[in-house]
Amino acid sequence: MVARIAGVFDEKLTEAIANSKILVVGAGGIGCEILKNLVLTGFPQIEIIDLDTIDVSNLNRQFLFHKEHVGKSKAQVAKDSALSFNPNVNIVAHHDSVISNDYGVSYFKQFNIVMNALDNRVARNHVNRMCLAANVPLIETGTAGYAGQVELIKKGLTQCYECQPKAPQKTFPGCTIRNTPSEPIHCIVWAKHLFNQLFGEEDPDQDVSPDTEDPEAAGTAGKSALSSQQTESGNVERKSTRTWAAETNYNPEKLFTKLFGDDIKYLLSMENLWKKRRPPTPLSWDNLPGKGDAPKQHSGLPDQRVWSVHECAEVITHHCLYKMLP
């Protein structure tokens, strides 16, 4: 490895690398690149944390992952792939959320440097605070479109990640919108994406849920990808929400069952997501909350009355889908 090649690094830096322990938080696009560079440089002790699993859409840019890895833990596969570059490195992978109580100040204190490769502000804020409390240097990284940023954060020497107010987020990670929405804006963005997928300008980056042929579909994650036919380039054919909906002739019951039933069951199969979150509840088209109930009394304006789930389904069916279709 580079650190062992005489003349590349001076003796002091070579010794520092040999005695360092690094934490990488996130195994996505940036995390893959960081991990590869660390093992090729010769850092001997690395831990990596990521809660996510590998999706087909990751394969075009997250080069440590391949078709056979779809549905598996990003952290574990990144570890296995990185070891092929340098099997002498000791890598510990955690398929978990860095916000978990298992990763407190005492955990962070064991590292010489922490490298963030995250895609959401909540986790970034948490790691920033842990590193300040543990007095461990943090290298914060991120991308937005074609722009990228890298920032060194060291207690007492630099400002921290939260020292300057951040502009309100205008875009949100797909995994937040599709898997773990926690704010009203997340639901609004999901609904806008769904409308575009069904009726507007179709954008693959705005898909709202895995389709029934998606390799991450609940309990059999990855199996359909392994058995599916490849294109000439070796990629997996992926059916979009628009294509699937058109094949059902935009059947309201099938659309509703997929989006609010089957996809929710898929999310529930990812148990680590719900350790610290309230899990969602799958809905059944034949037994929606509010079905058979009289409308609740409301003293305000008619448009201010809160609809039941059943009323929402009725409006979507009779006033939206049927009227918008030829």
Is 294 among the domain residues?
no
Tell the residue number behind the tokens 């997928």, with chain if given. 197
> In the predicted model, what is the mean pLDDT of residues 163-167?
82
Residue 135 amino acid letter: N
Residues 130 and 191 in one domain: no
159 within some domain: no
Report the chain's mean pLDDT, rounded to a whole number. 82
With 0-12 / 13-18 / 19 or more C-beta atoms within 10 angstroms meaning exposed / middle / buried, residue 49 is: buried
Residue 294 vs residues 243, 311, 315: alpha-carbon distances, Å: 37, 11, 16
| CB 108 within 8 Å of CB 153 | no
Percent of the chain at pLDDT exceeding 70: 84
Segments forming the whole domain that contains residue 19: 2-153
**Residue 35 structure tokens:** 């991990």
Answer yes or no: is 163 within a domain: no
Here the tokens at position 254 are 């099938």
Confidence at residue 75, expressed as pLDDT on a 0 to 100 scale = 95
Backbone Cα Rg of the chain = 23
Beta carbons of 221 and 53 less than 8 angstroms apart: yes
Label residue 229 by pLDDT band (50, 70, 90).
Answer: very low
Residues with a known catalytic role: 175
- For residue 321, the model assigns a pLDDT of 65
Helices (runs of H) and strands (runs of E) counted in the chain: 13, 6
pTM score, whole prediction: 0.68
> Has residue 296 got a pLDDT over 80?
no
Residue 120 CB partners (closer than 8 Å, separation 6+): 172, 173, 176
295 vs 206 pLDDT, higher one: 295
Query: What CATH number corresponds to the domain at position 257?
Result: 1.10.10.520
Which CATH number belongs to the domain containing residue 29 in this structure?
3.40.50.720
Write out the two tokens for 123.
């986790």
Q: Which range, of 54-68, 99-113, 122-136, 260-274, averages the lowest pLDDT?
A: 260-274
φ and ψ of 88, to 5 deg: -85, -5
Quick one: 56 and 129 in the same domain? Answer: yes
In order, the DSSP letters of 196-228 are HHHTS---GGG--S--TT-TTSGGGTTHHHHHS
> Is residue 276, in this structure, part of any structural domain at all?
yes
- Average pLDDT estimate for 253-280: 84
Least confidently predicted of 51-60, 221-230, 246-255, 310-319: 221-230
Same domain, 146 and 215: no
Question: For 95-144, what is each residue's pLDDT tens digit?
Answer: 998 998 899 999 999 999 999 999 888 899 999 999 999 999 999 998 87
In a domain? residue 318: no
Is residue 89 included in any domain, yes or no? yes
Is 70 exceeded by the pLDDT of residue 202?
no
Taking residues 137-160, report their average pLDDT.
91
- Cα separation of 252 and 318, whole Å? 9
For residue 300, how many other CB atoms are within 10 A of its CB? 7
Q: Is residue 84 in a domain?
A: yes
Closest CA to 82 of 142, 15, 37: 37
Q: Using CA atoms, how far apart are residues 86 and 39, in angstroms rounded to an integer?
A: 6
User: Residue 313: its pLDDT value, please?
Assistant: 86
- Taking alpha carbons only, the member of 106, 118, 108, 125 closest to residue 51 is 118
Beta bridge partners of 151: 140
**Distance between first and last Cα of the chain:** 63
Based on the fold, state whether residues 88 and 189 are members of the same structural domain. no
Same domain as 139, residue 220:
no
Tally of domains within the chain: 2
Do 73 and 17 fall within a single domain?
yes
Task: Report if residue 275 sits inside a domain.
Answer: yes
pLDDT digits (tens, 9 = 90+) for 180-189: 888 888 888 8
Residues 180, 232: one domain? yes
